[in-house]
Chain A
Amino acid sequence: MRLRPFALAEPESVREAVEILARPDGDARIIAGGTALLPTMRLGLVTPDRLVSLHRMPALSGIHVDKGVLEIGAMTSLAALARHGALRSGWPLLAQAAGRVATPAIRSTATLGGNLCYAEAASDPAPALLCLDAQVRLADSVGERVVPIGEFFTGFYETAVAPGEILTGVRVPAGPTGARSGYLKFCPRSAEDRPLIGVAALLVLDAAKRVDEIRVALAGAAPTPMRARRAETTVKGQELTDRAIRGAADAAAGEAEPLSDLMGSADYRRDMIRVWVRRLLTALRDGRPSP
C-alpha cells in the first residue's frame, strides 16, 4: 500500500526548516527516522501535505562529549547510541535502553529525537534520560532554548515542542560518580514490543551501603514517562534492605497513573510496576552487572 502523496522538503539548516514549517499552505510534519510517523500515515491517522525531513542537517547528527557532558544530535539513530563506546562507558544506562528498543532494523533507522517527539508513554530511552537529568534542545527561527527532560513530556503524546520549533539535540550531564544503573522492560507479548512497563534506575550507595543518591523512572506507568520521586524519597539515606526495596516499589506503584489498554489494565500495570521496580533495585543493590 502506497503512502498518500505529499511534498518532501529536505532543508540543510534549522533556519530553512523552520521557515518551511511556518508556510501557511497545508499541514506540515517533521520526519526524522520515520519509523513512527510512516505507519501512522499508512493508518490515515495523520495526513500531512508536506514532510520536512531533517536528515540533511549536519548540526543534528553525531555524538560528542564536551567537558564531561554528552551532546547527542537529534537525528542520531538508537543503534548508534547503543554501540557508541563513550556512551557504553560513561552513560551505560542510556546505551542499554536505546539497545532495547524494538529490533535491529528499527534501531538503525529510528532516532533519539524522533523517539522523544513521538512521546510514547512506553518509550525505552525516556526513563533513562529522566534518570540522567537530560536536557532537550529546542530551536526556532529566533534561537534555542533548553528544556529539562522532566518538563518535556506534557501529556499523552504531547511535548513542550512549540509550533515552529525543532528538537535539535539532547544534552546529558555526567552521572554521579560510583553510580550503578540499569533498565528493565517487561514485554508480556513479545521481546521486541514496546514495554508494558519499563523501569530505569540509577543508584549510589555510600560506604555504609546506605542510599546516597537514587533516581527511578518509569515507562508505560502514566500518560507520560515519569520519575518515581516518592519511591526515591522512600529509600534515600536508608539501607537497601529487601523491606526498604518493597517500600520503594509500593511507592512507585502508588504514584503511577497507569492507563488501561489492550496490553494490560491499569491494575495489572500497577502490580507489574511493583514487581519490576523491586527486581531492578534488588539487582542493582546486589551488584548484578546486567539486571
Chain B
Amino acid sequence: MISIDFTLNGRLSRIDVPAHWTALDLLRDGLALNGTKYGCGEGVCGTCTVLLDGEPVRSCLVLASRLRGRAVLTVEGLHRDGEPDHLQTAFARAGAVQCGFCTPGMLLSARALLASNPSPTEHDVREALAGNLCRCTGYTKIIEAVLAASAGR
C-alpha cells in the first residue's frame, strides 16, 4: 500500500491504496466517487477525464501515486453550493446529455478549455473535446452547450 495526500475537489485528502491502482481505481473503488466513468481503459474514449492541477488527464492512464501533492477535480466537484455550475446548466439546457456516460469527461475537458480560453471558437471547442467520444449526440449539442457557457448564456 502507498499513502497519498492530495487535494480532491478542494479538500485535503489522504488515502492508502495499492501501488498498482490508477487514479481512476482510487476515485471509484477507493473513494466511491462514481461520477468518473471507466470506459475503454486505454485512454481513447475520454469518459474518465479529470483535471490534475487544472489540466485534463485520463485517470485510467495515471497511476494513483502521481496524484501526490496535486489537486484533482472530478465531476463531483463542479457544483456550486449544491447547484449545477454554469457548464452543467448549459449542457442541460442545450440537450447535450443523452445516455450521459461521456458527460463527466466532456464537462471536465470543457472546464479546462474555458479556464485557459474563456472565449473559444467552435474550432477550439472541437479541438478541446477531440478526445471525448460521444456515441449518442453527434456532438452538435455538446459544442453548442460549451459555446453557450462561454458566452454566459
Contact = CB atoms under 8 A, between A and B. Distances in A.
Interface of A: 1-8, 10, 31, 33-35, 38-39, 42-43, 51, 53, 55, 79, 102-106, 108-109, 191-192
Interface centre among A35, A105, A191, A192 (most CB of B within 10 A): A105
A108 B65 contact: no
A279 B109 CA distance: 33
B20 interface: yes
A35 B49 CA distance: 13
Interface stretch (B39-47, B82-90, B138-146): B39-47
21 contacts: A1-B41, A5-B20, A8-B2, A8-B19, A34-B61, A39-B42, A39-B61, A51-B63, A55-B66, A102-B43, A104-B55, A104-B109, A104-B112, A104-B127, A105-B43, A105-B46, A105-B131, A108-B56, A109-B57, A109-B61, A191-B130
Which label, helix, strand, loop or mixed, suits the secondary structure of the A interface?
A: loop
Contacts of B127: 104
Nearest to B105: A105
- The B interface is mostly helix, strand or loop, or mixed, namely mixed
Contacts of B65: 8, 10, 53
Interface of B: 2, 18-22, 25, 38, 41-43, 46, 49, 52, 55-58, 60-63, 65-66, 109, 112, 127-128, 130-131
A149 to B, nearest CB: 26
A41 to B, nearest CB: 9
Contacts of A7: 19
Contacts, number: 85
B131 A108 contact: no
Most buried by A among B20, B41, B43, B60: B43
Contacts of A35: 43, 58, 61
B58 A31 contact: no
Contacts of A105: 43, 46, 49, 55-58, 109, 131
Contact of B43 (A4, A10, A31, A39): A39
B131 A104 contact: yes
B46 A8 contact: no
Contact of B130 (A42, A55, A103): A103
Contacts of A53: 63, 65-66
Contacts of A51: 63
A3 B22 contact: yes
| 6 closest residue pairs by CB, A with B | A103-B131, A39-B42, A8-B19, A105-B56, A108-B55, A5-B20
Contacts of A102: 43, 131
B131 A109 contact: no
B126 to A, nearest CB: 9
Contacts of B56: 104-105, 108
